[in-house]
Amino acid sequence: MPNKRTRRKGRLRSLTRVLVIGVLLLWSLAALTLVAARWIDPPTTAVHIQRRVQAWMHGTPYRERYQFVPLNQISPDFQHAVIAAEDARFYQHHGFDWHAIEIAAEGDMEGDRIRGGSTITQQLVKNLFFGTGRSFLRKGAEFTLVPVAELVLGKRRILELYLNVVEWGPGIYGAESASRTYYKAPARALGRQQAAQLAAILPAPLKRRPERMNQYSAIIQERMRQMNW
C-alpha cells in the first residue's frame, strides 16, 4: 500500500500532467485561431474584452467602436505611418526584430527607454490573445505564437489585422474607427500629417490625443521620408 509521500508525488504528477495538457490545448486553440484569422476577421480581441471588464468593474460608461475594413480601404499614408512609428523593419524581419530588442534592452539598463522592441506581429498576437498585462508566462506564449502568425498570415494580413484591432483611444479600435472619431473621415482619406498624428498615439492610446502629437508626428513623417514613402 503506497505511503503518504508516494501518494503526494502521484497527485503532484497528475496535477502537472493536467496543467501541461491544459497549456497545450490553449496554445493549440490560439494557433488554430491564427489560422482562421487568415480568412475570418476577428469579432473581438483580448484587449477589447479586458476594457469591457475594467469598465464593468469600475462602473464607468463604456462605448465600443470597432469597424473592420480591408487594407485597401486604409490609406497608404496611414499604413506607412504606423509601420514607421511602430516597426520600421516590418518587411525585413520574420516576427522578431532582434536589433530593436537589443536597443530596447540597453535603454532599460540605462533607464532611458524611449520605445519597446516589440514588432507589429508581436503586438498583434498580444492584442488578440493576452491583453495589456505583462508577465514572463505571457511573453513565453507570445514568443511561440509569433512564428505561427508570420507563417500562416503573411505580412499583408498581419498589417491588416493589426490596423483593424489595435486600440486608438477609450473604446476606439481600428483605423476606420479612429479616423472617423478624430477626423470625421474614413481611413482611406487620411493624409500624411493626420496619419502620423494617429500613429503617434499608439504607444499610449488612453493618454494621448492626435492633436497634441505634432512633435512626434513630425518625427514619424521624417522616418517615412527616409523610408521613401
* Domain identity same for 26 and 41: no
Q: Please say if the pLDDT value at position 115 is more than 90.
A: no
CATH code (residue 46): 1.10.3810.10
**pLDDT of res. 46:** 96
What is the Cα–Cα distance from 91 to 87, expressed in whole angstroms?
9
What is the Cα–Cα distance from 121 to 69, expressed in whole angstroms?
19
* Domain identity same for 182 and 84: yes
Higher pLDDT, 226 or 14: 226
Is 171 in contact with 62 (CB distance < 8 Å)? yes
* Domain identity same for 193 and 98: yes
Q: How many domains does the chain have?
A: 2
* Domain identity same for 117 and 91: yes
* Structural domain range at position 3: 1-36
Q: Please say if the pLDDT value at position 114 is more than 70.
A: no
Alpha helices for the chain (secondary structure H): 4-36, 46-58, 76-86, 98-110, 120-125, 136-165, 175-183, 192-200, 214-226
Q: What tens digit of pLDDT does each residue of 160-191 get?
A: 999 999 999 999 999 999 999 999 999 999 99
* Domain identity same for 191 and 134: yes
- What number is the average pLDDT over the span 210-223? 94
* Domain identity same for 106 and 201: yes
C-alpha separations of 204 from 83, 94, 133 in Å: 16, 25, 14
* Domain identity same for 55 and 128: yes
**pTM attached to this predicted model:** 0.88
* Domain identity same for 5 and 56: no
* Domain identity same for 57 and 137: yes
What is the Cα–Cα distance from 26 to 108, expressed in whole angstroms?
32
**pLDDT of res. 111:** 43
**At 226, is the pLDDT very low, low, confident or very high (cuts 50, 70, 90)?**
very high
* Domain identity same for 3 and 81: no
Is 181 in contact with 46 (CB distance < 8 Å)? no
* Domain identity same for 215 and 186: yes
Percent of the chain clearing pLDDT 90 (strictly above) = 71
At which residue does the C-alpha cell 505511503 appear?
Answer: 3
Q: What tens digit of pLDDT does each residue of 48-75 get?
A: 999 999 999 999 999 999 999 999 999 9
What are phi and psi for residue 222, nearest 5 degrees?
-65, -40
Q: Which of 209, 204, 187 is nearest to 81 (CA)?
A: 187
* Domain identity same for 164 and 189: yes
Q: What tens digit of pLDDT does each residue of 66-110 get?
A: 999 999 999 999 999 999 999 999 999 998 987 766 665 454 444
What is the grid cell recorded at 129?
490573445
- What number is the average pLDDT over the span 138-144? 86
What is the Cα–Cα distance from 141 to 31, expressed in whole angstroms?
11
- What number is the average pLDDT over the span 204-211? 93
Q: Please say if the pLDDT value at position 113 is more than 50.
A: no
